[in-house]
Structure formats: C-alpha cells, structure tokens
Structure 1
Amino acid sequence: MPKESKASQALDIDNYIAIFPGNVQAILKKIRQTIRQAAPEAKEMISYRMPAFKQNGILVYFAAWENHIGLYPPISGNKTIEKCLARYRGPKGNLQFPLNEPIPYELIEKIVRLRVRQDTEKTAAQRKKRPKAE
C-alpha cells in the first residue's frame, strides 16, 4: 500500500487510485463505477484525503487500506441492508471490505442508493424549515 503522504496529496480520484498496486486499482475503479451508477448526479471530490461523492451532502467516502477497502460513513436507516452489513462493520460502524474476499459491489450499490434517498430527504426537510422570503 502507498505511504500516507502520497495518498494525502491526491488532487482527485484518478490520482488517488493511481497510487495503489494494479489489483487494488481495479477494485477502486469498480467501486467508483458502482457509486457513479447508483448516484449519477453526485460530484466526485477528495475530502478528508479520501475519494468522496457529494450530492447535496456527502453520500459516501471510500479508501484503500493495507488489508481492506473502507466505506464511510456508518450506514443506518434500512434494516435489510444493515443486516447484510453486520459482517463488514469495523470500529465506529464504518465498513471494511477485506481485500482477500470478493468485494460486494451489489451491496455497495444498495448502500449508495440508500444514501442518495437519505440525502434527498434531508435536503427536502431542511428546505421546508427555512423561512420563506417575503
């Protein structure tokens, strides 16, 4: 895995992915594609030194580590998805997909679709709370 300094200097997701060995690059590219497919309106960015996708707010971050791919923030709000995530929960509820196991891309897609819905609902609720201009 790359040294922290290289990953922290990535200016965009392409730079971030390029830092890693080929096998990890392939996984990161597929995760990126999976997220794009599930959230086509989301914008790519680097935030907290990790690739992130933002619509109104941040939908998800992902990062490669020595033995796993991390997906953040912790996911809640759908009992079926939460049940599927139990085996991947790491410290603080963030997800850790081991590199020595198949990456659950379909599950990642479901997570992102859930986060898009939650983001849209949160934004709509915030708009309702704002006072109307007169």
Structure 2
Amino acid sequence: MNEDIRNYISSFDLKTMQRFDELYDLIEQCAPNGSYEKLWAKIPSFYYKEQFIRLIPFKDHINIEAIAVLSFKDQLLGYNITPKGMLQIYHSEPIPYEVLKKIFTESFNS
C-alpha cells in the first residue's frame, strides 16, 4: 500500500482500517499487472488503463465505486447500492468476497 493511502486510512478507527485492508488485499489479487494506486480527491483509488476502483471509507461502512457493481446487483441482495451505483458494505455485514472478485476483475477489464 502506498504511503499516502496508508496515512489516510490510519486516521480511521481500527474496524474501518481492518475492513479497508481486507478490501485492499482483494483488489490487489484482482488487479492486472500495470495497475497502480493513488489518492484521488482524498479517496483511495486503484487504476488500470482507463478503469478505476475506489474505496471510500466511513465510520460505519465502506463504499465501493466500480463500474461493474450494477452488473452483479442480483448477487448483492441485502446490500445497499447507492443511486450513483456504489456498493455500501456496513461493518456489521459480511464482505461478499466471491462477488467482489468478479466485480473487481470485470471493472479492471472493461
């Protein structure tokens, strides 16, 4: 994880940092060679060519902005998807790892 992202996420509580780290690791597993990460408008962002995924941490949840979220909405029943198409995962909810792998892979390769 680059230093800017690490410094940014360290300002959050332990639960948010742990959840962020889990999602970060999952993105790393799905990211193709040549991808990179940076803060964009103070938002941790992951890029490959023209595509991006953003993790937006909050006190009680993390929003995931990825182009493929809506393609998998039928597999995300029970999770909130914002009007802008971001997936909200509350800290009280399990992380849907298998669906997120598909979302991240498709988002990077769109």
Q: Confirm or deny a common fold (TM above 0.5).
A: yes
What's the Cα RMSD here? Answer: 2.0
Structure with higher RCO (Cα < 8 A, 6+ apart): 2
Number of the residue aligned with 1:88: 80
Number of the residue aligned with 2:39: 46
Number of the residue aligned with 1:7: none
Counterpart Cα distance in 2 of 1:117 and 1:57:
10
- Return the offset for 1:74: 4.8
What are the superposed Cα offsets for residues 63-111 of structure 1, whole Å, 9 maximum, x if unpaired? 1113211011453674xx2311353312322111111111222222211
Q: Any stretches of 5+ residues in structure 1 without a counterpart?
A: 1-10, 119-134
Structure 1 residues 76 and 99: alpha-carbon distance in aligned structure 2, compared to 1, 3 A threshold? closer
**Residue 13 in 1 paired to residue 13 in 2?**
no
CA contact (8 A) 1:43 1:54 kept: yes
* Length-normalised TM-score, structure 1: 0.69
Number of the residue aligned with 1:66: 59
Q: Which has the higher helix share?
A: 1
Counterpart Cα distance in 2 of 1:74 and 1:115:
5
Larger radius of gyration: 1
Q: Select 1:57's aligned residue among 25, 29, 50.
A: 50
Counterpart Cα distance in 1 of 2:43 and 2:98:
21
Count of residue correspondences: 106
What are the superposed Cα offsets for residues 13-55 of structure 1, whole Å, 9 maximum, x if unpaired? 1112211111211111111110011004210111121101011
Report SS of the residue matched to 2:15: helix
